[in-house]
A and B are shown apart, each in its own frame.
Chain A
């Protein structure tokens, strides 16, 4: 089974915000909710680097650990999803998340939080795949259609890669070798931790 991950190549990202737009378009997210954003370090000066960030679908997801109602679950492909019917809008996942992924539409007076919304890796939610209900709550379920996340598919420079961690890290490794720089896989240490077995040999033959 594939383990879905994101990579953003800081050497390639040009801060076009195409991924942000693609995400909004694909999932019809409500106002004030931004599942993906592009952050630029050293904006406007030499050494500027941009990175597109959304939920990284962590291996040991902090949101899942602190949720008081246990509304998160992980799919077989490693995508971290949540059930909006259970979410109470406490904001704990927003505190704990290193990437600032959880978003809350304002639902009432005094900034009361509504149901949490975040990147689903375009994999919908617990409802029936590609049903009306699923789309209304979580947006598109492209994974069930055999497609990859809209943000990565739409990326104009292919800086944002989304898909099986083994496949996209191979692509990224080739790039880093060819250009001889920019080998840092952004956010992976935080999201996926250390590899279970660093001494492991690459599998021979076909991939999963």
Chain B
């Protein structure tokens, strides 16, 4: 009995939902019929009515034109307005604030916390951290990234920030230089991503101890030394999320914009531009934290990537498991030669501060 009542109820409910749908469909079909009417059909009933033609124009239907080129048969494209509102509106506004706020946050953190130093005194004995190939791969990527970031930020914000300061002539000249650099350095950056990823992917595979590292926040605030592999969990996230993910997204969207000679549509280029700008802003802002931690934020980090060597204390405190493996001979040092050679040929570097 109960089941029957429930069945009837569901039937009625279904009917309630379904019936208006039928009516709506019929109405929509009638409307669609009118909308789909061609100018030829309309002229037979209303000779002076050009509505179907103007509907074609507004919808971006391609007509015939003797002028060859990309979308020359389209009279009005409306996506441009959407792109303009997104780019000049929320993207420029929130992107600009994001860049400013992260820079301010890093500055505040530096004033409050200072650089992450060593807990024990340096031993004076150096251990190889990066081979010359690894450093070339890193700096190729880093320098091309910086050129792209500066020229890219100029494209989006220069009009509001730099132009009022230096005037139209100089800014136009700099922007031309920046745009050409951006177009030609972009492919260099893409190539460096591939080389960099192939070289460093092994040491960036997530491990169980990375979770412990993340939970403890790397010991930055507690002052605790948290062990990690060659790269800590935050560096691994930067590798996967930054270099690999954002690198791929910004590269792919950048290629669409860099080669306009394939007659790709304006809609595709505008979509690519939005994806490119958002990915690039996140990438740039994230890179601020990496650049900070790789230079003034961590004692000895910049020297490691410049010269390739770190103090043994640095290696033990920043990459304990890796250091132990290299010391025990379980893995070769970055150059691939025997582990004792590294220590003897290492240049003697004086670490500033602690």
Contact = CB atoms under 8 A, between A and B. Distances in A.
B298 interface: no
A166 interface: no
The winner among B73, B260, B266 for most chain A CB atoms within 10 A is B260
The winner among B65, B87, B175 for most chain A CB atoms within 10 A is B65
Interface of B: 38-40, 42-43, 47-50, 52-54, 56-57, 61, 63-67, 69, 71-78, 80-81, 83-84, 87-88, 154-156, 158-159, 163, 168-169, 171-172, 175-176, 178-179, 183, 257-262, 266, 269-270, 273
Interface string A128-156: 00000000000000000000000000000
A47 B88 contact: no
A59 to B, nearest CB: 14
Contacts of B56: 41-42
A51 B257 CA distance: 30
B76 A94 contact: no
Given A62-B84, A88-B176, A100 B72 contact: yes
Contacts of B74: 39, 100
Interface of A: 10, 17, 20, 32, 34, 37-49, 51, 53, 62, 65-71, 83, 85-92, 94-100, 104, 106, 110-113, 180-182, 184, 186-187, 190
Contacts of B76: 98-99, 187, 190
Give the 5 A-B residue pairs with the shortest CB-CB distance, closest first.
A111-B261, A47-B39, A181-B48, A86-B172, A46-B40
Contact of B84 (A48, A96, A110): A96
A47 B179 contact: no
A100 B61 CA distance: 14
Nearest to B43: A47
Nearest to A191: B76
B168 A34 contact: no
B contacts with A: majority SS: helix
A35 B157 CA distance: 30
B83 A96 contact: yes
A68 B156 contact: yes
Contacts of B67: 20, 34, 37-38
B259 A111 contact: yes
A86 B88 CA distance: 20
B77 to A, nearest CB: 6
A65 B83 CA distance: 11
Contacts of B171: 69, 86
Contacts of B262: 111
Contacts of B54: 184, 186
A86 B170 CA distance: 9
Nearest to A87: B172
A47 B38 contact: yes
The winner among B43, B53, B270 for most chain A CB atoms within 10 A is B53
Contacts of A67: 159
